[in-house]
Amino acid sequence: MNTIKGPAVFLAQFAGSEAPFNSLDGMCKWAADLGYKGIQIPTWEASLIDIEKAAESQIYCDELKGKVQSYGLEITELSTHLQGQLVAVHPAYDTMFDGFAPKQVQGNPKARTEWAIDFVKKCGTASGRLGLKSHASFSGALLWQTVYPWPQRPAGLVELGFKELANRWLPILNHFDEHGVDVCYELHPGEDLHDGITFERFLEATNNHTRANILYDPSHFVLQQLDYLTFIDYYHERIKAFHVKDAEFNPSGKQGVYGGYADWKDRAGRFRSLGDGQVDFKGIFTKLTKYNCDVWAVMEWECCIKSSEQGAREGAPFIQKHIIEAATRSFDDFAGGDIDEDYLKSVLGI
């Protein structure tokens, strides 16, 4: 079995315009001082990484990696959640997602898609130069607006949607394969890949591409009322990244999964700081360890009640407490010994 690495922290929710959150040095010192051992870097934060340079220069990547290591940290993964979203955008969401794209492609969906595909590919090159094995992203969505079948979906729509999604991602997956890096899709409401069935549809459409894998985040499964522990039994071979994030689901006589358009703090399903929600992290860490999942335990902090400062302080010790040092021998080894076939036959009476 494999011991999960960590604790680590996804920097996206903390990066900002003020020190220490406006530079890689500042964020590394902040994370290290809080007890984290790894950082997941959002590639849209130019103050943390220059992807153009990282894709072109091994020297730049070596210096970046060395800077992070000087604080006693490792880079766990790069993230293209925002750019991956732009690989596939339905026209219904064009205006709202345009803000994730650079100004030169805003208002031009075709150019935006081409830019997103190219950018994610560059992150595959950068990940390879940095010696990373996994990359975090979203799939984007062409079908999400049809998730509830009213009006009725026309026959063949879902199949065509996943075929098109695969066509957009296959060049990216092939590029990542050239650099020895897995693309780990965070299965997330709003994305075409949001649960096990949709991930299986995507695998089928990509001919079971070996680089199409999963970023496991139980919080999104709590909000969907999906069995997130049994999910690991089904898909552990494809789980190559892990967000440690808590959530709770408290339905009432007035709202359930869809939340009535309420603000986050008023929804039945809402994200919580680690330990404040309903996620069974003991069960999760046990299963991931049992199945020998080689992942970093990366805190993604999102909470509508607790401050980010407190959430960050509490995150590292929470994760450390749940990491299981994998057993190197059986607890009943004392009763074992070398195999003696004659003795075994005598035990069986044969």
Query: Domain 5-348 classified CATH 3.20.20.150?
Result: yes
- Both tokens of residue 87? 């690989």
Residue type, 219: S
What residue segments make up the domains of the chain, in order of their start? 5-348
pTM of the model: 0.95
The answer, yes or no, to whether residue 334 has pLDDT greater than 70, is: no
Using alpha carbons only, what angle is made at residue 297 by residues 292 and 302, rounded to the nearest 5 degrees? 145
Q: Which of these ranges, 41-55, 121-135, 214-228, 315-329, has the smallest mean pLDDT?
A: 315-329
- The predicted pLDDT at position 338 comes to 80
Residue 179 has pLDDT above 90, yes or no: yes
**In terms of C-beta distances under 8 Å and separation of at least 24 residues, what long-range contacts does 254-259 make, across chains too?**
257/223, 257/224, 257/225
Asked whether the CA dihedral 32, 35, 38, 42 is positive or negative, the reply is negative
Q: Which residues contact 43 (CB under 8 A, 6 or more apart)?
A: 49, 51, 78, 79, 80, 83, 119, 123, 126
> Does position 1 have pLDDT exceeding 90, yes or no?
no
Find residue 137's DSSP bridge partners.
80, 185
Per-residue pLDDT tens over the stretch 89-116? 999 999 999 999 999 999 999 999 999 9
Q: Is the peptide bond before 20 cis (omega within 30 degrees of 0)?
A: yes
Tell me: the pLDDT tens digits for 270-296?
999 999 999 999 999 999 999 999 999
Alpha-carbon separation of residue 343 from 137, 283, 332, 336, 339 (angstroms): 56, 39, 19, 13, 8
pLDDT reported for residue 333: 66
- What digits encode the pLDDT tens for the residues 160-169? 999 999 999 9
Query: What is the pLDDT at residue 200?
Result: 98
Say if residues 257 and 267 touch (Cβ distance below 8 Å). no
Task: Give pLDDT tens digits for 239-254.
Answer: 999 999 999 999 999 9
* pLDDT at residue 327, rounded to an integer: 82
Residues in the chain: 350
Q: Is the pLDDT score of 193 beyond 70?
A: yes
In percent, how much of the chain has pLDDT > 70? Answer: 98
- Looking at residue 335, its pLDDT comes to 58
CA dist 337 and 346 (Å) reads: 16
How far, in Å, CA of 192 to CA of 198, rounded?
7
Check if the beta carbon of residue 183 is closer than 8 Å to that of residue 213. Answer: yes
Question: What is the rounded average pLDDT for all residues in the chain?
Answer: 96
| Phi, psi at 90, each rounded to 5° | -70, 145
Paired tokens of 260: 């009535």
Residue 337 reports pLDDT greater than 90: no
pLDDT of residue 336: 63
Tokens representing 268 are 């039945």
At residue 317, the pLDDT reads 98
Q: Is 57 exposed, middle or buried (0-12, 13-18, 19+ CB in 10 A)?
A: middle
